[in-house]
């Protein structure tokens, strides 16, 4: 028994001013185990009634809270048992400042990730546009968001970009989006016939929704053409370019069948003869 007590009271010098005993280490381990149990119980209580997706997001945030709690508990426990940590803090102050500056972007990413998870700005499955890049969100982590582009390429987005750039969420108001195809016809064309043909194309495509119904807008008297836009609604905006391509193919076909020409830009050139 005496040998056990001697072993428990045995101290180790880390530096001249810092000394820690086996008893201190045992107390620290016990406190960390109790902290882990309390945090796990707290997480279960909070997430018990949350939906599955929100539960996963909360776990991601909670994991960082947990590690921060562990660091805080270690510092408080060692200080409580008499371990003087001031020399360590003093010696590592400059190092910590340097590390903090180096990890500034990382901290920005983590803070942004917490904002995303808590304010529900972006959800898994949303189609977003950020800095000119469009992707479907596959996974949201605290540091990065993983999205798949239209070309099936993986796009890794640092979360701090959400704070510094404008984010367009194509599907936050629902999965349906309004898309359009623009076309110009020659001056003198039958514009009512043009309207009917454009509506025929949009209403005949299987992926274009009937409600709301497609619309044709006469947008401008252009320099070389009368400009129209056919507007329609899709339930899958991520693949809108394929539907738009189908619409353009069909427009070209119907216009040819009905003798409606799509003009190319024309310019009048005036040659001034310099007579001497």
- Residue 67, judged by CB atoms within 10 A of its CB (0-12, 13-18, 19+), counts as exposed
Please tell me the predicted confidence (pLDDT) of residue 18. Answer: 60
For residue 210, give the CATH number of its domain: 3.30.70.100
| Shared-domain flag, residues 66 and 97 | yes
3-state SS string for 196-217: HHHHHHHHHCCCECCCCCCEEE
Tally of domains within the chain: 3
| C-alpha count within 13 angstroms, C-beta hemisphere, residue 123 | 12
- Judged by average pLDDT, the poorest of 43-57, 112-126, 214-228 is 43-57
pTM: 0.56
276 within a domain of the structure (yes/no): no
* pLDDT on residue 126: 84
> Do 48 and 67 have their domain in common?
yes
pLDDT-derived band at 85 (thresholds 50, 70, 90) equals low
pLDDT tier, 187 (very low <50, low <70, confident <90, very high otherwise): very high
> Residue 130, by phi and psi: left (phi above 0), alpha (psi -120 to 50) or beta?
beta
- Note whether 227 and 162 are same-domain residues: no
Last residue of a domain, one of 140, 169, 198: 169
Q: Please, which residues bridge with residue 177 across strands? A: 234
Q: Which residue has the higher pLDDT, 268 or 167?
A: 167
When comparing pLDDT for 162 and 206, which is higher? 206
Q: What is the mean pLDDT of residues 77-93?
A: 62
Nearest-5° Cα angle at 223, 217 to 228 = 15
Same domain for 74 and 130, yes or no, is no
- What does DSSP assign to residue 272? P
Whether 43 maps to a domain, the answer reads yes
Q: What is the pLDDT of residue 258?
A: 93
Which residues, including other chains, have CB under 8 Å from residue 243's CB and lie 6 or more apart? 179, 205, 207, 208, 234
Label residue 9 by pLDDT band (50, 70, 90): low
Same domain, 183 and 237: yes
How distant, in Å, are the alpha carbons of 20, 22, 241 from that of 5?
15, 10, 76
């Amino acid at each position: 028994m005496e040998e056990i007590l001697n072993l428990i009271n045995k101290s180790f010098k880390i530096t001249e001013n810092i000394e820690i005993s086996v008893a201190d280490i045992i107390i620290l381990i016990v406190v960390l185990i109790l902290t882990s149990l309390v945090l796990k119980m707290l997480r279960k209580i909070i997430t018990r009634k949350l939906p599955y997706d929100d539960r996963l997001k909360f776990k991601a945030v909670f994991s960082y809270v947990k590690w921060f709690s562990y660091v805080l508990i270690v510092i408080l426990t060692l200080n409580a048992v008499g371990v003087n940590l001031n020399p360590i803090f003093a010696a590592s102050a400059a190092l910590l400042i340097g590390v903090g500056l180096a990890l500034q972007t990382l901290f920005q990413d983590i803070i942004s990730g917490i904002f995303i998870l808590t304010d529900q700005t972006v959800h898994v499955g949303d189609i977003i546009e950020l800095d000119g890049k469009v992707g479907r969100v596959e996974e949201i982590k605290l540091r990065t968001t993983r999205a798949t582009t239209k070309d099936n390429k993986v796009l890794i987005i640092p979360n701090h970009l959400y704070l510094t750039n404008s984010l367009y969420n194509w599907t936050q108001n629902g999965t349906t989006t309004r898309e359009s195809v623009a076309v110009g016809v020659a001056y003198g064309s039958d514009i009512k016939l043009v309207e009917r043909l454009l509506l025929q194309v949009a209403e005949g495509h299987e992926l274009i929704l009937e409600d709301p119904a497609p619309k044709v807008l006469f947008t401008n008297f252009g320099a070389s053409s009368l400009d129209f836009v056919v507007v329609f609604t899709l339930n899958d905006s991520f693949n809108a370019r394929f539907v738009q391509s189908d619409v353009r193919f069909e427009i070209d076909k119907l216009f040819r069948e009905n003798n409606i020409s799509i003009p190319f830009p024309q310019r009048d050139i005036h040659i001034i003869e310099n007579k001497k």
